[in-house]
Amino acid sequence: MNWPWPVWIAHRGGGLTAPENTLAALRAGARAGFRMVEFDVMLSADGMPVLMHDDTLERTTNGRGPVSAQDLAALRMLDAGAWQGSAYAGERIPTLDEALDLLCELDLDANIEIKPAPGFSALTGVTVAREVARRWPADRRPPLLSSFDEDALAAAAATAPALPRGLLFEQVPDDWARRMQGHRAVSVHCDHRLLDAARLQALIDAGVPVLCYTVNDATRARGLLAAGVRGLFTDRLDLPEAV
């Protein structure tokens, strides 16, 4: 298919340059020249979509316990930036709505990874898709939704069928074609370390856009692009220049 999205995608907003999944991260990605960012979205206890990778708060905030046990008001009190240095102290966990507004302001494309907490697959898929469909301007290229969680992806498809979806794997399984068809997915996203040349060639021969995470090495990036990979998620905001 004709693939409209940029090749380079800043992983978790701004790679390792700013605290992941924050508005500062999205700004860092844009400032470095990226035209597309990826970020992860999970639900608070009261069902509000927020940017978060881990099920628990300890690694990226000063909170404790499961993200899904705290309502939005409690999550918003937390510091999600100080762990990456005092310059980011006070950075908050963003809502999906805030992130969508900033994407428009910064003129960024996005891959929104639906990252349900355990037990919240369908609700997370529905909520993310509904919010993106409600809020995203009709004249802008829509965000590409993706998930490792196929129940979440199916729920997103049922909620907002027009939003494009990528199927996200660690290792691409043998039945990738059947799964893609089932989800009416436009792309396959996978861990480049688990992608062998034969599987990549089969995907490319079938005309499937392949996006690889998380590529932080220039030689590997060149090789994947030469082989026909359409998108690279990276933690290194300097990598496009090096490739």
Cα–Cα distance, 186 to 208 (Å, whole number): 7
C-alpha distance from residue 32 to each of 64, 86, 115, 143 (Å)? 32, 21, 26, 20
Total length of the chain:
243
- The reply on whether position 113 binds Mg ion by CB under 5 A is yes
Binding mask 33-72 for Mg ion (x = CB under 5 A): -------x--------------------------------
Q: How far is the CB of 46 from ligand G3P (least distance, A)?
A: 23
Q: Which is nearer to Mg ion, 41 or 154 (CB)?
A: 41
Q: Give the binding site for ligand G3P (CB under 6 A).
A: 11, 38, 40, 53, 113, 146, 168, 189, 213, 233
Q: Are 220 and 196 in contact (CB under 8 A)?
A: no
- SS3 assignment, position 179: helix
Q: Which is nearer to ligand G3P, 84 or 146 (CB)?
A: 146
Residue 11 CB-half CA count within 13 A: 21
Q: Which is nearer to ligand G3P, 120 or 233 (CB)?
A: 233
Active site residue 189: no
Q: Considering CB distances under 5 to 8 angstroms, the limit depending on partner class, which of ligand G3P, Mg ion, none binds residue 189?
A: ligand G3P
Cα–Cα distance, 102 to 150 (Å, whole number): 28
Residues that bind Mg ion (CB under 5 A): 40, 113
Just list the catalytic residues: 11, 53
